[in-house]
Amino acid sequence: MPTTIITGASSGLGAEMARQFAARGWDLGLAARRLDRLEELRDEIVERTGRRVEIRALDVTDDDAVFATFRDLREAFGTIDRVVVNAGLGKGAPLGTGRYDANRQTAMVNFVAALAQTEAAMEVFRDQKRGHLVMISSVSAMRGMRKTVTTYSATKAGVAALAEGLRNEMLGEPDLDIRVSVIYPGYIRSEMNERVSHTPFIVDTETGVAAMVEAIEKEKAHALVPPWPWVPLGKAMRHLPLPVVRKIM
């Protein structure tokens, strides 16, 4: 059976992706720090769908653990068809306000740990000569954002560039069937933003993740989701003057 690995799968978008991929017939390898949450999610998915679900406790900032976990899941399943690099952190503070610790933690989780996960996934895919790497970015990656989102948006732009560089490389590797997708979610209700009450265009978790899963299943190179309003807004954000972007976002 086809297998998808999802990091950061214990809550929010990762947990809902697991539910929806299982409903589509995928076996799952789920990794996150909170093993108790993963156990509950595994039991729920197995009861609903009967799919195979392997769970692993993982702190994605532990490089050695990332590689060991991916290798372990590859051994458990035999083959890994897709890896979704989803684990992320939303904390941050305006630069220069004394909260370097928060911004550094976001950078380490969202970019450096994503690099480790990408390395581990590509190690498996190169050996298999095939696979689908999915990077979860954000619409905030379209332009530099202000205040508490500055570092977050920079990390999400970084992982998108990392994925595009890989896609560029794979174009010159005809013997490798490795596809690379970057998903740019708009505002989707999740544990990360549950305390934010006045976010424009926000959709519920199930609706937003359904759009993410649909784009991933189509193996799109890049997708802003949900398409409305984020496809037109994303294009506008890339090209409008920064003072105008500031008013939109």
Report field, pTM of the whole predicted structure over 0.75 = yes
Residue ranges and CATH numbers for the domains of the chain are 3-248 (3.40.50.720)
Tell me: cis bond preceding 229? Omega within 30 of 0 counts.
yes
| 100 carries an active-site annotation | no
pLDDT tens figures, 138-197? 999 999 999 999 999 999 999 999 999 999 999 999 999 999 999 999 999 876 555 555
Element at 154 (helix H, strand E): helix 150-170
Catalytic position from the list 100, 152, 184, 187? 152
pLDDT tens figures, 5-26? 999 999 999 999 999 999 999 9
Number of other residues whose CB lies within 10 A of the CB of residue 47: 8
Give the pairing type, strands 130-136 and 27-32.
Answer: unpaired
